Amino acid sequence: MAKMLVVDDEIYALKGITQGIDWSGLPLSAILEAGSVTAAKQVMEQQHIDLVISDIEMPGADGLELLRWIHDHFPHTLVVFLSGHAQFEYAREALQLGCFDYALKPIDHGLLKDIVSRALEEIAAQRIRQSFSELLEKQQLHWNKQLPVLVERFWQDLLAGRIPFQRERLNRQFALYNIPLTAESCVLPVLLSIEHWKEEMSAQEETIMEYALRKEAAESIVGTFDGIVFQDSHELNLVLLYCTKDQLPDREALLERCRRFVASSGQFHCQASCYVGAPARVEELAEATGRLVQAERTNVSSPQSVIDAAVTGGTGVPLEPGTVPSPGEWAELLEQGRQDELISLLELTVRRLQEELASRETLEQIYYGLLHLFYQTARRKGLSIYDLASVQELNDPLATRSPQHLLQWAVRLSSKTADAFSGITRNASPAIAKAHQYIQDHLQTDLSRDEIADLVGRNPAYLSRLFRKETGMSLSEYITQQRIERAKQLLVESNEKISSIAEGLGYVHFSYFAKLFRKLTGLTPQDYRRIHRQS
């Protein structure tokens, strides 16, 4: 319900509106009166008024002055002006100041009631928008408060393989969590290894001290860089430094920061080391952290130190180039089913290991690196590693006995993996595939979620969740994207007018289409047509 105030210095005009019109059918809780601008201000200072109907010409302060005062003090109150003179200047100034409507006296009671009805509808809409705005602001504050936890969870899920590596989806998540990276960016991992506690502590006390160490690492290692310190799902304490075009940490400076952290670890009653990796692409980050863990495992001679794992592999002795396989190269061969090339690389690696009299630690390093590689490659194909091999085949104790045993294990597992990958495509579910096709065939119509859900036989809310899960975007985002893609194609391949293209894709208002096109492409439709036709 709303409160309305009628302002007029003529008593008969005032009563004619407040008492001469049947307002009972409208959602009005009170209709108040004021005989002057001064009296109107007093009423509005004492109680909330939603709508003001005011005469313009009054002795002393006029209606235009009242409107200015209302805008300054009660900006959500709507104002309707009535005037006994058809003066254009009055109407123009009233509209410029933002009055809801302007009518001439004497006004038909039915017309005034219609104006008030529209004003009350706008007031109801304003309340809804205000309520949504307040809710959004409240949730934004809550989101900002939870953002550090959400960012940690994102990296935990990414390293655990729970987030499929899809470039567009990752880019949206980076933007969502305000992480200054793209799917093509690199991240430099540092493993914080707590080697032992100098005091007897309970599990809770150790957890608290580990948290304190991560806070110290955030100050002494991350510092002014963009990055995060967190504990992953395997309880590894990790530092991730974001490598962007504007920020690539100087290697020696980073190692020095890590030395300071190691030196300061004593104040937390523990002995710690840092294992510093090389920048790795986001898709290779799990493998990169796996190598740091392996470096930690094989380091038995350099406690409480900083290990440049990109150089030494973690043992303090530089590894020969080519000894350890390139994760990116091996993964590419696995995914593409190039089994013969993969086996050739395996045999070449084994020959090098035999020539160099590789240690048990080196064999284990390659074994665990390959095992992790099989896990990650299977995940990217949408499979579980256990769909490819049994637990016994994966964890073969003979694999690290000799280079030849390692070769036999690797060839056996890579053959199983390559066979499983052969012909596999990661298609959408039938329901989403059907939705995709329907959208493509009906881009020119007013598509709705309920209509698409009815077509595929799914609950609308379920369809929305399923669509976002499989595509990484909402239905409306996908429809908009596909319409703009179709527009781009038509702009280049046809001579159709741009306005006709927009109308043919369901955009009634050309200005909205042009604005949306520029937002998604960075170009106006005209510029896009000109540039791409020239090329």
- Per-residue pLDDT of 104-133, as tens digits, reads 888 889 999 999 999 999 999 999 999 999
Give the pLDDT of residue 343. 77
Q: Which helix (H) or strand (E) holds 157?
A: helix 109-159
Q: Report which DSSP code applies to 60.
A: S
Lowest-pLDDT choice from 75-79, 127-131, 398-402, 448-452: 398-402
* Cα separation, 27 vs 124, whole angstroms: 10
* Cα separation, 68 vs 56, whole angstroms: 12
The CATH class of 160-314 is alpha beta
Give the pLDDT of residue 66. 92
| Residue with the larger pLDDT of the pair 124 and 392 | 124
* Cα separation, 152 vs 323, whole angstroms: 34
Q: pLDDT tier at 246 (50, 70, 90 boundaries)?
A: low
Q: pLDDT tier at 319 (50, 70, 90 boundaries)?
A: very low
Give the pLDDT of residue 356. 64
Give the pLDDT of residue 392. 75
Q: pLDDT tier at 478 (50, 70, 90 boundaries)?
A: confident
Q: pLDDT tier at 474 (50, 70, 90 boundaries)?
A: confident
* Rg of the chain in Å (alpha carbons): 35
* Cα separation, 319 vs 313, whole angstroms: 7
Superfamily of domain 430-534: Homeodomain-like (1.10.10.60)
In DSSP notation, 323-384 reads: SSPPHHHHHHHHHHT-HHHHHHHHHHHHHHHHHTT--HHHHHHHHHHHHHHHHHHHHHTT--
DSSP three-state, residue 508: coil
Where helices occur in 78-108 by DSSP H, the ranges are 88-96
| Contacting residues for 286 by C-beta, under 8 A, at least 6 apart | 158, 159, 161, 372, 376
Nearest by Cα to 159 from 335, 293, 278, 274: 293
Q: Which helix (H) or strand (E) holds 433?
A: helix 430-441
DSSP three-state, residue 307: strand
| Residue with the larger pLDDT of the pair 373 and 277 | 277
Other beta carbons less than 10 A from residue 388's beta carbon:
21
DSSP three-state, residue 427: coil
Residue 320 scores a pLDDT above 50: no
* Cα separation, 222 vs 233, whole angstroms: 21
The CATH class of 2-128 is alpha beta
Omega of the bond leading into 106 within 30 degrees of 0 (cis)? yes
Q: What are residue 79's DSSP bridge partners?
A: 52
Give the pLDDT of residue 86. 61
Classify residue 305 by burial, with Cβ atoms within 10 Å: 0-12, 13-18, 19+. middle
DSSP three-state, residue 29: strand
Residues of the chain above pLDDT 90, percent? 33
* Cα separation, 410 vs 393, whole angstroms: 10
Report the phi/psi class of residue 352: left, alpha or beta, with left for phi > 0 and alpha for psi in -120 to 50: alpha
Cα–Cα distances in angstroms (integers) from residue 113 to residues 9, 70, 412, 459, in the given order: 21, 22, 84, 42
Average pLDDT of the chain to the nearest whole number: 83
* Cα separation, 164 vs 76, whole angstroms: 47
Q: pLDDT tier at 315 (50, 70, 90 boundaries)?
A: very low
Q: pLDDT tier at 390 (50, 70, 90 boundaries)?
A: confident
| Contacting residues for 429 by C-beta, under 8 A, at least 6 apart | 466, 470
DSSP three-state, residue 54: strand
| Contacting residues for 86 by C-beta, under 8 A, at least 6 apart | 104
Confirm whether pTM is higher than 0.85.
no
Give the pLDDT of residue 372. 79
In DSSP notation, 256-295 reads: HHHHHHHHHGGGGTEEEEEEE---EEGGGHHHHHHHHHHH
**What's the mean pLDDT in 515-532?**
89
Give the pLDDT of residue 57. 85
* Cα separation, 319 vs 310, whole angstroms: 10
The model's pLDDT over 332-387, given as tens digits with 9 standing for 90+, comes to 677 666 777 777 777 777 777 766 666 667 778 888 888 877 777 776 665 667 66
Residue 203 scores a pLDDT above 80: no
Q: pLDDT tier at 492 (50, 70, 90 boundaries)?
A: confident
Residue 255 scores a pLDDT above 70: yes
Lowest-pLDDT choice from 65-69, 71-75, 280-284, 310-314: 310-314
Nearest by Cα to 458 from 448, 468, 450: 450
* Cα separation, 339 vs 337, whole angstroms: 5
Q: pLDDT tier at 469 (50, 70, 90 boundaries)?
A: confident
The model's pLDDT over 72-111, given as tens digits with 9 standing for 90+, comes to 999 999 999 988 766 667 777 777 888 899 888 888 899 9
Give the pLDDT of residue 46. 94
Tokens of 456: 């595929």
Give the pLDDT of residue 113. 92
Nearest by Cα to 38 from 16, 59, 22, 24: 59
Residue 389 scores a pLDDT above 80: no
| Residue with the larger pLDDT of the pair 493 and 172 | 172
